[in-house]
Amino acid sequence: MPQHMATDEALFLSRREWLKAAGLAGIGIAAGTAGLSAMMGRASAAPITGFPATPNDSYVLDRALTAEQEATTYTNFYEFGSSKTIWRKAQKLETDPWMVSIDGMVEEELKIDAAELITKLGSQEERLYRHRCVEAWAMAVPWAGVPFSKLVALARPTSGAKYIRMETFYDPSVAPGQKQSWYPWPYVEGITIEEGMNELALLGTGMYGKGLEKQNGAPLRCVLPWKYGFKGIKSIVKFTFTDQQPVSFWEQLAKNEYGFWANVNPEVAHPRWSQATERMLGSDNRVPTLLYNGYEEQVAGLYAGMGGIGDRLFR
Ligand SMILES: Nc1nc2c(c(=O)[nH]1)N[C@H]1C(S)=C(S)[C@@H](COP(=O)(O)O)O[C@H]1N2
Ligand SMILES: [Mo]
């Protein structure tokens, strides 16, 4: 390539234009962008790709999929406000590049761009899952992601580690909700390592055949279909392996309402909402809620030693 192209022009031409100008457009994207990033002296910035992901047919639904329009415009993301209609405000979130840390009790501490992390974790798949918010609305969604167990395998937790604490970004200049100082920002959630290794646990990267919308937690979120929705932390920046049970955002606000386990259980009412039935987004009818949100077969074994069904599943 001409000598001058490797210097100044690279700073103001877009990546694609630059690759074209430098005659690199045809060669492997990964090699091309990595080389360019190195020359430009900044973190590699390429969004997570690979959508639509390959369907994994093991996960079938007992109900119709929720319309994409419903699932992407009725969302809970308190960083952008406490109403369900914050999707426009969330567009301010810059999700590429997106640095993620893996730290704590692990053999392999890592600070890595989200797209590179997903590349390392292997191929993404699509799974149809139910989602149940503790407020009693529900949806059925085609998620994309990688099994969460792959992240555990990459991190290689040390023998004393029991839990994974996850944290959302903190930037009040982008997320107006984070200016509300009575909330314990940043949003935190946690699971046991055993839960993270369960086949159902998914590190979500997409929905409806595309990358995640910002309001749904781009670029990376947790998807735990047997637990109440608040466990499904969005826009994750940090995974910390620890021997201490993490205290979540909601648990810190109201311990009696939002427990650590938070497994879906129609028998145990939340102090403010019965959990017996749910409303699918886009419908006015209520349908029965199922134990573990219908995933008893896959996850009941995780809790067999905890005294079975009952209060502890919720708290
Ligand atoms: N960072 C963050 N993650 C979050 C929340 C939030 O407010 N902030 N809300 C939770 C709740 S209560 C639910 S029900 C789900 C909603 O996911 P959805 O908006 O994509 O349907 O996200 C969860 N993850
Ligand atoms: Mo929720």
Q: What are phi and psi of 139, to 5 degrees?
A: -150, 170
Q: Whose CA is nearest to atom 6 of ligand 1?
A: 77
Per-residue pLDDT of the chain (315 residues; tens, 9 = 90+): 334 333 333 333 344 443 444 444 444 444 444 444 444 444 556 899 999 999 999 999 999 999 999 999 999 999 999 999 999 999 999 999 999 999 999 999 999 999 999 999 999 999 999 999 999 999 999 999 999 999 999 999 999 999 999 999 999 999 999 999 999 999 999 999 999 999 999 999 999 999 999 999 999 999 999 999 999 999 999 999 999 999 999 999 998 889 999 999 999 989 888 999 999 999 999 999 999 999 999 999 999 888 655 555 665
Rounded distance from Cα 314 to ligand 2 centre (Å): 14
Give the three-state DSSP class for 256. Answer: coil
Q: Does residue 186's CB lie within 6 angstroms of at least one atom of ligand 1? A: no
| Residue-level pLDDT at 17 | 44
State whether the beta carbon of 168 lies less than 6 angstroms from ligand 1.
Answer: yes
The reported pLDDT for the residue numbered 43 is: 52
Distance 276 CA to ligand 2 centre (A): 15
Amino acid 124: pLDDT: 98
- 251 three-class SS: helix
Please choose from 230, 264, 275 the residue to mutate so as to test ligand 1's pocket, defined by most ligand atoms within 8 A of CB: 230
Residue nearest to ligand 1 atom 10, measured at CA: 230
CB 226 within 8 A of CB 200: yes
Take atom 5 of ligand 1 and give the residue whose Cα is closest. 77
76 lines ligand 1 (CB under 6 A): yes
- Ligand nearest the Cα atom of residue 207: 1
pLDDT (0 to 100) of residue 22: 44
Cα dist from 40 to 36, 100, 111, 262, whole Å: 6, 21, 19, 46
pTM over 0.85: yes
Structure tokens at 225: 């279909």
Count the domains in the chain.
1
Q: How far is the CA of 42 from the centre of ligand 2 (A)?
A: 37
Rounded distance from Cα 225 to ligand 2 centre (Å): 12
Alpha-carbon Rg of the chain, whole angstroms?
21
Task: Tell me which residue range forms the domain holding 102.
Answer: 3-313
Domain of 259, CATH number, reads 3.90.420.10
What ligand is nearest to the CA atom of residue 232? 1
**Spacing, Cα 178 to ligand 2 middle (Å):** 18
Q: How far is the CA of 10 from the centre of ligand 1 (A)?
A: 39
